[in-house]
Structure 1
Amino acid sequence: MSSAKLSILSLLCLYATITAAINNRPIIGVAAQATWGHSAAHGKSYIAADYVKFIEAAGGRVVPIPNNATDEYVTKMFHYINGFLLPGGATSVYRSGYERTAKIMLNLAMQAYENGDYFPIWGTCLGFEQLAVLVAGNHALTNCSAWDVSLPLELNQDFRDSRMFHKAPEEIINILKSQSVTANYHHECVSWKNWFSSNGEHLQNMFKVLSSNSDVKGLKFISTIEGKTHPIFATQWHPEKNMFAWRPNLHVAHSEDAIKISQYMANFFVGEARKNMHHFPSREAEMHALIYNFNPVYSGLQGSEFEQKYYF
């Protein structure tokens, strides 16, 4: 074989290796929130263990991003982790450590994408709202009445034209469309009207709407979105609760079908993180950053809606 043919073959093999590169040790950064009340005795910030388990159930690992982390620390972590999750909760999306961390991660992820670095972000409930406020400003949100209610998704007609649902099995789609398996716990939302108004122009430009729902008063709101170009995903509903929210006063679906939805969403997001090749500078640095260095507290005994929390 000629040297020219060998060179071409080598280039093709190299290209195939690069495009097929998969990270089977993905690490997701999860934003912490400030503690309050009696929980403040445990630490300055917390992460509900539901979100850690959600990532771990799909083969990922978690690095906590403390609520009081410096800008420098958040930026450093971005270059070490493979994705970022904004969990639900009850902190401010306008001025808080959670908001600051989200803003830094979002800006870095968008810049990275323009440079060929695929870094996925996921927002759940409050995380959805945080992304909306960062993109559209302080007028993005509307009061909603959707607390402790599980709903089927009203999927948009072109929902298959998305990263999230393009390859979803028909069984998953049928469950989402016909069963009340998406847990809603929010007093605010991005209404359909607001999304498609002048206030939502930046949201329209950046995101594709995959589903909507209506609250108990009939207000239509956006419930699932993903970036039109950037790998940014958000649900106003909680995919993790079906598997991990066991407080007896909560109306959360725990059927086998409901668990399939939680597992599908976890697998999808961690699968997106596998496309990212960031890594820690050493195995020792990685081990010291992982959430394994902390022990969850059984916060359910203290009346929290979360069974367990990690405190930092």
Structure 2
Amino acid sequence: MWRRCCYSICIPILISLLSNNLIIAKATESTQVILLPSQIEDRTCSAPDPNLNEKPIIGILTHPGIGTFDAAHHHSMRYDKNVSYIAASYVKLAETGGARVIPLIYNEPDERLFQKLELVNGVIFTGGWAKEGLYYDIVEKIFNKVIEKNDAGEHFPVYAMCLGFEILSMIISHRRDILERFNSVYYASSLQFIENANIEGTLFQRFSPELLKKISTDCLVLQNHQFGISPDTFQASPSLSSFFYILTTSADKDGKTYVSTIRSKRYPVTAFQWHPEKNAFEWGSSEIPHSEDAIQVTQHAANYLVSEARKSLNRPSHEEVLSHLIYNYKLTYSGYRGRGNDEAYIFT
């Protein structure tokens, strides 16, 4: 009787003790050991990659006018060719990726403009309306200089958006009449990847599989243009089709298809008919996507731009750069009526 009771009492107790010991042992194994800085033997940070520029600077070309479309008292200045601007969203795009910005003022003397070009590691051609005259000529001069730099072995990227896309298409095709009319003013859309599109080394390589799928089914980008190029027209131009890959197309409000993203086959040149900068930084239209997925698109665009600029080995001295940075200029807020750019840098 005693033996039976002993077994009935002792065995469960023994099992419980063993179980508790196993739990304690597992907890001990999984507990992370936290060391104080003084207890770490090797506290040396890894050396930066000498092949990467960790302080990249992006040059953004200004556009004629003031860019504040809702300011009635500034109406006469909007098309004043002595005044130019940069929408702040382009500056913020570069800064989001970890770069600083130097404005390239399109109507300043060529000598001064191209001195500034020697201080930067990449260029943004923005959206806008100017497709002729001095502005077109300056874009062409800068682009030709960028190609020279890349041919000489310097990695020098270009981001061309909306108007930038259109002017580069005109320059490379040698046709001022290549653009066609499309109905895509303030219009959110998806991006349709062309069949067998090679996204390796492009912006889209950074997208997760889920985001790649969503951008082709959901309206995650803003279109805001009246002109563009159809895939047929693009492919019919030997100059364009030999210089660029088509990555995506989009449809306008009438269902007409145009080329929406292209990437150079040889150079670090990417052009968007859409606006990667607006999702996170502009609020003047209900069409601008602001979902978490849309913000990721902007963030990936920023990171990709600056990752390309980091490959540039052009490293001017700190002193050369300071007086030219965008920080030397003030912002103008113009978003009261919810139209145009929310903020702009104006250069007079």
**Fold-level match, TM-score > 0.5?**
yes
Let me know the Cα RMSD of the aligned residues.
2.1
% identical aligned pairs: 31
Q: 1:110 and 2:140 equivalent?
A: no
Q: 1:25 and 2:55 equivalent?
A: yes
The correspondence of residues 114-193 of structure 1 with structure 2, limited to 5 A, is 114-136=151-173, 137-164=175-202, 165-193=204-232
Q: Which runs of 5+ in 2 are unaligned?
A: 1-46, 67-73
Q: Which amino acid aligns with 2:88?
A: A
Structure-2 residue corresponding to 1:225:
262
Structure 1 residue 279: Cα displacement: 2.9
* 102-111 vs 203-212, greater mean Cα deviation: 102-111
* TM-score, length of structure 1 as denominator length: 0.87
Match of 1:286 among 310, 321, 342: 321
Structure 1 residue 228: Cα displacement: 0.3
**Residues 182-230 of structure 1: per-residue CA shift (max 9 Å, x gap):** 1000000011221122xx2210010000001121222211000010011
Q: Which amino acid aligns with 1:299?
A: S
Q: Which runs of 4 or more aligned residues in structure 1 lie more than 4 Å from their structure 2 counterparts after TM superposition?
A: none
Structure-2 residue corresponding to 1:13:
none
Q: Secondary structure at the match of 1:211?
A: strand
* TM-score, length of structure 2 as denominator length: 0.78
Match of 2:294 among 233, 258, 281: 258
**Larger radius of gyration, structure 1 or 2?**
2
Instruction: State the distance in 2 between where 1:279 and 1:224 align.
Output: 30
**Residues 16-55 of structure 1: per-residue CA shift (max 9 Å, x gap):** x9x9600111100001011165373997110000100111
Q: Which amino acid aligns with 1:79?
A: E
Please tell me whether the aligned partners of residues 155 and 211 of structure 1 are also in contact (alpha carbons under 8 angstroms): yes
Please tell me whether the aligned partners of residues 31 and 101 of structure 1 are also in contact (alpha carbons under 8 angstroms): no
Is the alpha carbon distance of 1:246 and 1:134 closer, same or farther for their aligned partners in structure 2, counting shifts above 3 Å? same
Q: 1:269 and 2:305 equivalent?
A: yes
Structure-1 residue corresponding to 2:40:
none
Instruction: State the distance in 2 between where 1:56 and 1:310 align.
Output: 15
Please tell me whether the aligned partners of residues 206 and 300 of structure 2 are also in contact (alpha carbons under 8 angstroms): no
Please tell me whether the aligned partners of residues 106 and 113 of structure 2 are also in contact (alpha carbons under 8 angstroms): no
Q: Secondary structure at the match of 2:205?
A: coil
Structure 1 residue 278: Cα displacement: 1.5
Instruction: State the distance in 2 between where 1:176 and 1:285 align.
Output: 41
Structure-2 residue corresponding to 1:6:
none
Please tell me whether the aligned partners of residues 53 and 315 of structure 2 are also in contact (alpha carbons under 8 angstroms): no
Structure-2 residue corresponding to 1:306:
341
Please tell me whether the aligned partners of residues 129 and 189 of structure 1 are also in contact (alpha carbons under 8 angstroms): yes
Structure 1 residue 175: Cα displacement: 2.4
**Residues 61-117 of structure 1: per-residue CA shift (max 9 Å, x gap):** 11001121222223222221000000111222x3233x2332122111111112211
